Amino acid sequence: MAPRVLISDSLSPTAVQIFKDRGVEVDYQPNLGKDKEKLAEIIGNYDGLAIRSATKVTAKLLEKATRLKVVGRAGIGVDNVEIPAATAKGIIVMNTPFGNSITTAEHAIALMFALAREIPAADASTQAGKWEKNKFMGVEITAKTLGVIGCGNIGGIVADRAVGLKMRVIAFDPFLSPERAIEIGVEKVELEELLRRADFITLHTPLTEKTRNILSAEAIAKCKKGVRIINCARGGLVDEVALRAALDSGHVAGAAFDVFVEEPATTNPLFGHPNVVCTPHLGASTTEAQENVALQVAEQMADYLVKGAVSNALNMPSITAEEAPRLTPFVKLAEMIGSFAGQLTDTDITGIRLEYEGDVATMNTRALTAAALTGVLKPQLETVNMVSAPAVAKERGLGVEEVRREEQGTFDSVFRLTVKTAKQERSVAGTVFADGKPRIVEIKGIQMDAEFQPSMLYVTNKDKPGFIGRLGTLLGDAGINIATFALGRQAAGEDAIALVAIDGAVDADLLDKVQALPNVVQAKRLRF
Ligand SMILES: NC(=O)c1ccc[n+]([C@@H]2O[C@H](COP(=O)([O-])OP(=O)(O)OC[C@H]3O[C@@H](n4cnc5c(N)ncnc54)[C@H](O)[C@@H]3O)[C@@H](O)[C@H]2O)c1
Ligand SMILES: O=C(O)[C@H](O)COP(=O)(O)O
Provide the annotated active-site residues: 234, 263, 281
Concatenating the DSSP letter of every residue in 414-441 gives EEEEEEEESS-EEEEEEEE-TTS-EEEE
Residues 111-128: tens digit of each pLDDT: 999 999 999 999 999 999
What per-residue confidence (pLDDT) applies to 391?
87
**Ligand 2 within 6 A of CB of 161:** no
* Chain mean pLDDT for the chain: 94
Residue of the CA atom closest to atom 3 of ligand 1? 283
What class has domain 317-452?
A: alpha beta
Residue 65, pLDDT > 80, answer yes
Residue of the CA atom closest to atom 1 of ligand 1? 283
**Ligand 2 within 6 A of CB of 284:** yes
What per-residue confidence (pLDDT) applies to 422?
87
Which CATH number is 4-99+288-307 given? 3.40.50.720
Portion of the chain with pLDDT greater than 70, in percent:
100
d(CA 39, ligand 2 centre) in Å: 20
What per-residue confidence (pLDDT) applies to 148?
98
**Ligand 2 within 6 A of CB of 72:** no
217-234: average pLDDT: 98
Residues 26-59: tens digit of each pLDDT: 999 999 999 999 999 999 999 999 999 999 999 9
C-alpha distances in angstroms, 290 versus 14, 47, 51, 63, 103?
Answer: 9, 23, 12, 30, 9
Return all residues near 405 (Cβ < 8 A) that are at least 6 apart: 355, 356, 357, 358, 361
Residue 159, pLDDT > 80, answer yes
Sign of CA dihedral 40, 44, 46, 48: positive
Q: Do the Cβ atoms of 232 and 202 come closer than 8 Å?
A: yes
d(CA 2, ligand 2 centre) in Å: 29
Residue 460, pLDDT > 80, answer yes
d(CA 479, ligand 2 centre) in Å: 63
Residues 253-285: tens digit of each pLDDT: 999 999 999 999 999 999 999 999 999 999 999
Phi, psi of 473 (to 5 degrees): -65, -45
Model confidence at 233, pLDDT cuts 50, 70, 90, reads: very high
Model confidence at 70, pLDDT cuts 50, 70, 90, reads: very high
Model confidence at 470, pLDDT cuts 50, 70, 90, reads: very high
CATH 3.90.1300.10 assigned to domain 454-528? The reply is no
Residue 316, pLDDT > 90, answer no
Q: Is the pTM of this model over 0.95?
A: no
Ranges 22-31, 356-365, 499-508: which has the least confidence: 499-508
Ranges 187-191, 244-248, 505-509: which has the least confidence: 505-509
64-88: average pLDDT: 94
Q: What share of the chain is helix, strand, coil (3-state, %, to 5)?
A: 35, 25, 40
What per-residue confidence (pLDDT) applies to 317?
83
d(CA 153, ligand 2 centre) in Å: 14
121-138: average pLDDT: 97
Instruction: Say whether 101-278 and 4-99+288-307 share the same fold.
Output: yes
- Ligand 2 probe mutation, 9, 260, 281, 296, most atoms within 8 A of CB: 281
- Distance CA(7)–CA(30), nearest Å, equals 6
Sequence ranges of the domains in the chain? 4-99+288-307, 101-278, 317-452, 454-528
What per-residue confidence (pLDDT) applies to 380?
80
Strand, helix or coil for residue 525 = strand
Count of beta carbons in the 10 Å neighbourhood of residue 148: 30
Tell the CATH topology of 101-278. Answer: Rossmann fold (3.40.50)
Residue of the CA atom closest to atom 7 of ligand 2? 53
- Distance CA(328)–CA(308), nearest Å, equals 8
**Looking at ligand 2, which atom is closest to the CA of residue 74?**
9
Distance of CA 30 to the CA centre of its chain: 24
84 or 42: which leads in pLDDT: 42
Most confident segment among 176-180, 245-249, 404-408: 245-249
What per-residue confidence (pLDDT) applies to 362?
96
Model confidence at 458, pLDDT cuts 50, 70, 90, reads: very high
Q: Do the Cβ atoms of 415 and 430 come closer than 8 Å?
A: yes
- Distance CA(275)–CA(244), nearest Å, equals 10
- Distance CA(286)–CA(306), nearest Å, equals 30
55 or 311: which leads in pLDDT: 55
